[in-house]
Amino acid sequence: MGSGLILAIDQGTTNTKALLVDRSGSPVFRTSAPLGITTTRDGHVEQDPTALWNSVRTVIETAGRHARATGESIEALALSNQRETAIAWTASTGKPLAHAVSWQCGRSAAICDRIAHKANLFRAKTGLPLAPLVSAGKWAWLIENEPAVESAANASNVCFGTVDSWLIHCLTGAAVHSTDLTNASRTGLLNLKSLSWDSELLELFGIPAEAMPAPKPSAGEFGRCRALPIVDDVPILAVIGDSHAAMFGHGHFAPGSVKATYGTGSSLMALTPTLLSDTPSLARTIAWAAAGQTQFALEGNIPMTGSAVQWLGEFLNLSDPASAVAQLACSVDHADGVYFVPAMLGLGAPHWDANARGSITGLARHHTSAHLARAALDAIACQVADVFSAMQSAAGAEFGELLADGGATRNAMLMQVQADLLGCSVIRSRNEELSAIGASWLAGLQLGWWRSLSELESLADDADRFEPRMREDDRDRLYGGWKRAIAGVKCATRTLQ
């Protein structure tokens, strides 16, 4: 028998990954399962909670069989997950009452508009701008529009949770209804000062307090697995939102560290020494809670980055949409004045315009699909630059570098454009499963495998460094054009209202 492994699950928007991590903090086995997402005719974005659980079941069983075949024991399970996605199920049977409302879905915009007079109170308590992204509005929409959810809520027979809560419920055989503080901080119902559900906000959204999961630190016991024999009685020792897990997995724990995760959407997070005062264009959030301490952060979320590249490839009817767009983009030196603002789901941080819609500007007769593809990659870097700039203003300091992770970072051209736009170093992690690694490290702290954050710093993987090399006037021209394109989208939104 070996020295034991941690089974780390990263439940994402389009797939679920699992790693087996050893005492060196490195993965020794990887597996994944795809997950579907549906966009309805009226623009709603949703997922099947049962399919979501089945994807997790698949990777756990595959990883468990590998551990068993190699004579290793699984000592703990760690979970990182897509955030804000809202799920409702019955307390009595544990069955889903409706499809999960994806974090990408803007269906609660009207609810946010209805309570807009409370936006300042909301932001002061939760650290979040009042926007359709937050889970609270999604649960409120389910209560108001799904008869089964309304009936269960009226009968005090409903459980609300984000993806972590749903998976804890499934893994423990319905024994535990809990969440961690990072996921709780993204719901729009957690008071950042008290670290508990806020009764005034629950009432504002019409959400019964008894339906909510118990918030806990990110590292700690969330129950024991009962639903799957291959991991029976294995403790769940870490739960954390995927963006927070990636921040932890970079191994940079000092205030002022800032990272960007490039995925379906993108999330920037900057660690702060304390809970900062109100920041209207950014979120204040909990980076993680472990070892009796709560680490606060600034965060900015962008709804469409990688998914915008995927959308463009589908729009152009390319056989392998995302890869083909990336290849097209690399075939030209620049977008030649074309700008693509991927606001198909509205604008996130720092603009927060739920009614904005996508635009393509600057087209001339000589432009090709390659220029449009390059504009799509430029849009990722420009959106990240918008949030990075807002974070520097809020923190009152200039950041010397950006830590980068996520699938899109494999594109070296994108990383170079990012460094050029920011005017600082971009440090790309070579670890493609950083969220799962971050979650496993938290579980390892609970197991006593590592005793401190300083020990974990030494485990961080090597990274690739990209330095800015674009001339300042070229950078000003590129970014200035982007700002005009964003302003045009906002102007169009005001005109339509």
| Token code pair at residue 74 | 């699984």
- Write out pLDDT tens, residues 389-447: 999 988 888 898 999 998 889 999 999 999 999 999 999 998 888 999 999 999 999 99
Cis? peptide before 350, omega within 30° of 0: yes
Please give the C-alpha separations between residue 333 and each of 323, 330, 368, 375, 410, in angstroms, as whole numbers: 18, 7, 13, 11, 18
Indicate if the pLDDT at residue 496 is higher than 70. no
Listed in sequence order, the DSSP H helices in 350-411 are 369-395
Please give the C-alpha separations between residue 322 and each of 264, 385, 408, in angstroms, as whole numbers: 11, 22, 10
- Rounded to whole angstroms, the Cα distance separating 180 from 138 reads 19
Range 180-194 average pLDDT: 97
pLDDT given at position 493: 54
| Token code pair at residue 318 | 């390319």
Indicate if the pLDDT at residue 264 is higher than 90. no
Neighbours of 6 (CB within 10 A): 30
- Rounded to whole angstroms, the Cα distance separating 342 from 345 reads 8
- Write out pLDDT tens, residues 96-122: 999 999 998 989 999 999 999 999 999
Indicate if the pLDDT at residue 375 is higher than 80. yes
Domains of the chain: which residue ranges?
Answer: 5-241
- Write out pLDDT tens, residues 70-100: 999 999 999 999 999 999 999 999 999 999 9
- Amino acid occupying residue 292: G
- Rounded to whole angstroms, the Cα distance separating 424 from 416 reads 10
CATH architecture of 5-241: 2-Layer Sandwich (3.30)
pLDDT given at position 463: 86
Using a 10 angstrom Cβ sphere, with 0-12 exposed, 13-18 middle and 19 or more buried, the burial of residue 407 is middle
Kindly report each contact of residues 310-318 with a partner whose C-beta sits within 8 Å and lies 24 or more positions away, as own/partner: 311/342, 311/344, 312/340, 312/372, 312/373, 312/376, 316/369, 316/372
- Write out pLDDT tens, residues 149-159: 999 999 999 99
The helix/strand/coil state of 151 is helix
**Residues 282-311, buried b or exposed e (16+ Cβ, 10 A)?**
bbbbbbbbbeeebbbbbbbbbbbbbbbbbb
Q: Among the listed ranges 162-171, 273-282, 378-387, which one has the minimum average pLDDT value? A: 273-282
| Token code pair at residue 319 | 């056989």
- Rounded to whole angstroms, the Cα distance separating 456 from 450 reads 7
Indicate if the pLDDT at residue 348 is higher than 90. no
% the chain with pLDDT above 90: 80
Q: How far is CA 59 from the centre of its chain?
A: 20
pLDDT given at position 279: 82
Q: Among the listed ranges 225-229, 379-383, 445-449, 460-464, which one has the minimum average pLDDT value? A: 460-464
Range 214-232 average pLDDT: 96
Question: With contact defined as beta carbons under 8 Å apart, do 241 and 183 qualify?
Answer: yes
